[in-house]
Amino acid sequence: MEEFQVIVVGAGPAGATAAYLLAKAGLNVLLVERGQSAGSKNVSGGLIYTGILNQVYPNFWEEAPVERAISNHSLVFLGEGSSVSVDFRGQVPAPSGLPCNAYSVLRAKFDPWLAEKAEAAGAALITGTTVESLIVEDGRVTGIQAGSDRIAAKVVIDAEGSRSLLMKQAHLRSDFNADEISLGVKEVIRLPVETINQRFRCSAEEGVALTLVGHTSGLQGGGFLYTNRDSLSLGIVVKINSLYKSKRHPHEVLDEFKSHPFVAGMIEGGEVIEYSAQTVHRGGLHLIPKLYGDGYLVVGSAARLLLNNILTLRGMDLAVASGMAAAQAVLAAHEKNDFSAAGLSVYADYFKQTSCYKDLETFRQVYPLLENQRFFEFYPNLACSMMEQLFAVNPTPSKKRLGVMKDNIQGKVSLVDLTKDMFAVAKGLVV
């Protein structure tokens, strides 16, 4: 039986980062990817935040296949035929000293670069290979089964993605609750560079990220739109049991979302060159499973790592942070030659020291907001209706802001529920 010190299953940001750091430190590492190339099986809105990635790959933007520096962000509420936007336009380079806060990326280009970095550091990379199961002996993970090949390892890092089938098959995790899973549906839409620059008011190197709330067929979820160099990444993320109850197909919800005048104007004249869908965990501290055990660690989407603070939906930087922490834990275990659960438990400690984990703690109270149906339909419509009335000049006398708000909520939401919702927003996002 062939043997490695470390086997990493999955060459996404989490797995590739762990493999890169461990190989760089001199360990014998095997990185296994089921896609024909890294990134070919991944679905992502396409933003990578620079801070954590720069810690692992200093000045990565100089060689990585990034698309645009995201200096402009917008939160857009979509009502029935109208929209209200809150826009922020920053600087490139950013005041932090980094070129920008985030880059848009296409995973089919970006993930292969990460895998190549791991391979260049000394990791053995195998693509187009599916790991059927983990090898478990006396309650300890000792390797993987890939086709007819049994490959042993001191430790296996599970970076297989959101389905986490290997952990389930090995009885190392419980079943997922459908109430805690969303479905992401995404299109990549080709547009000329000049059209993107003019439409989004940016230079050829700069880009825009839009978070869109409302017009998701009444389903719990939201949308995103990011500018790439010569394309747009457009998609929605909706709660999967909400979608099931609606009896709607994912592409139908996305098509209706695209029909909104605001969205339609942004993508007008574009050509859809890619369509994809994938399950996404709802995220939050309360969903993170046990991250380690005898002979194994769990990272990235397999560890259900995702942060939604309404303004941003983050997964890739959390994946990189977990891959970095996992590598640190394996190196510590290697020094002691102890790959038991006790020896690998420092992984959780290392991860908790990252800014990504601290952000999960900061926004842990956001998740109750994501369960409130009013935030996905009523409040976007309320914002648009109020703004329309406030800007209108009518033949009848105008009302002050409070009067306009009372007119719009009358018979639709009680003052008690409105107060509760505002308190929940303050608790989750402000205080």
| The CATH number, out of the four listed (3.40.50.360, 3.40.50.300, 3.30.1300.10, 3.30.9.90), of the domain defined by the range 179-281 | 3.30.9.90
For the segment 397-415, the average pLDDT, to the nearest whole number, is 73
Q: Find the range with the poorest average confidence among 32-46, 59-73, 207-221.
A: 32-46
What pLDDT, on a 0 to 100 scale, did the predictor assign at position 43?
66
Helix (H) or strand (E) run with residue 4 in it: strand 2-9
Q: What is 2-67+105-173+289-353's CATH number?
A: 3.50.50.60
Q: For the chain, how big is the Rg over CA atoms in Å?
A: 23
Higher-pLDDT residue of 89 and 93 is 89
- In a 3-state reduction of DSSP, which class is residue 15? helix
What pLDDT, on a 0 to 100 scale, did the predictor assign at position 353?
96
Question: Tokens for 202?
Answer: 């940016």
What pLDDT, on a 0 to 100 scale, did the predictor assign at position 122?
98
Contact in structure between 301 and 313 (CB atoms under 8 Å) = no
Is the pLDDT at 349 greater than 90? The verdict is yes
What pLDDT, on a 0 to 100 scale, did the predictor assign at position 268?
97
Q: Which of 259, 197, 261 is nearest to 232 (CA)?
A: 197
Residue 267: Cβ-neighbour burial (10 angstroms; 0-12, 13-18, 19+): middle
What pLDDT, on a 0 to 100 scale, did the predictor assign at position 356?
93
What pLDDT, on a 0 to 100 scale, did the predictor assign at position 402?
66
Single-letter code of the amino acid located at 425: V
- CA 122, distance to chain mean position in Å, is 28
For residue 389, CA distances in Å to 8, 87, 228, 386, 396 come to 57, 21, 36, 5, 12
Q: How far is the C-alpha of 426 from the C-alpha of 410, rounded, in Å?
A: 23
Helix (H) or strand (E) run with residue 53 in it: helix 50-56
Is the pLDDT at 44 greater than 70? The verdict is no
Is the pLDDT at 399 greater than 70? The verdict is no
**85-108 burial, b for 16+ CB within 10 Å, e for fewer?**
eeeeeeebeeeeebbbbbbbbbbb
What pLDDT, on a 0 to 100 scale, did the predictor assign at position 394?
72
For the segment 279-294, the average pLDDT, to the nearest whole number, is 89
For the segment 257-282, the average pLDDT, to the nearest whole number, is 94
Q: Which of 106, 71, 73, 111 is nearest to 91 (CA)?
A: 71
Is the pLDDT at 118 greater than 80? The verdict is yes
- Residues forming beta bridges with residue 133, ordered by sequence position: 145
Q: How far is the C-alpha of 201 from the C-alpha of 163, rounded, in Å?
A: 39
Backbone region of residue 257 per phi and psi (left: phi > 0; alpha: psi in -120 to 50; beta: other values): alpha
Q: How far is the C-alpha of 80 from the C-alpha of 380, rounded, in Å?
A: 9
Whether omega before 99 lies within 30 degrees of 0, making that bond cis, reads: no
Residue 323: Cβ-neighbour burial (10 angstroms; 0-12, 13-18, 19+): buried
Q: How far is the C-alpha of 355 from the C-alpha of 68, rounded, in Å?
A: 24
Q: Find the range with the poorest average confidence among 192-196, 241-245, 352-356.
A: 241-245
Side-chain-side CA neighbours of 337 within 13 Å: the count stands at 0
Q: How far is the C-alpha of 16 from the C-alpha of 21, rounded, in Å?
A: 9
pTM score: 0.92
DSSP 141: E
* Phi, psi angles (nearest 5°) of residue 429: -120, -20
For the segment 276-300, the average pLDDT, to the nearest whole number, is 91
Question: Tokens for 332?
Answer: 């510590």
Q: How far is the C-alpha of 369 from the C-alpha of 346, rounded, in Å?
A: 33
Single-letter code of the amino acid located at 246: S
What pLDDT, on a 0 to 100 scale, did the predictor assign at position 310?
82
Confidence of residue 41 (pLDDT cuts 50, 70, 90): low
Q: How far is the C-alpha of 343 from the C-alpha of 173, rounded, in Å?
A: 20
Q: What's the pLDDT tens digit per position in 234-251?
A: 999 999 998 999 999 999
Question: Tokens for 97?
Answer: 């000293």
Side-chain-side CA neighbours of 36 within 13 Å: the count stands at 0
Is the pLDDT at 401 greater than 70? The verdict is no
Question: Tokens for 50?
Answer: 């620079």
For the segment 265-278, the average pLDDT, to the nearest whole number, is 94
- CA 394, distance to chain mean position in Å, is 45
What is the overall mean pLDDT for the chain? 91
Share of residues in the chain with pLDDT > 90 (%)? 65
Strands 292-293 and 149-158: unpaired
Q: How far is the C-alpha of 61 from the C-alpha of 158, rounded, in Å?
A: 27
Question: Tokens for 427?
Answer: 């608790």
Is the pLDDT at 370 greater than 70? The verdict is yes
Question: Tokens for 338?
Answer: 């102890």
Q: Where are the domains of the chain?
A: 2-67+105-173+289-353, 179-281, 369-430
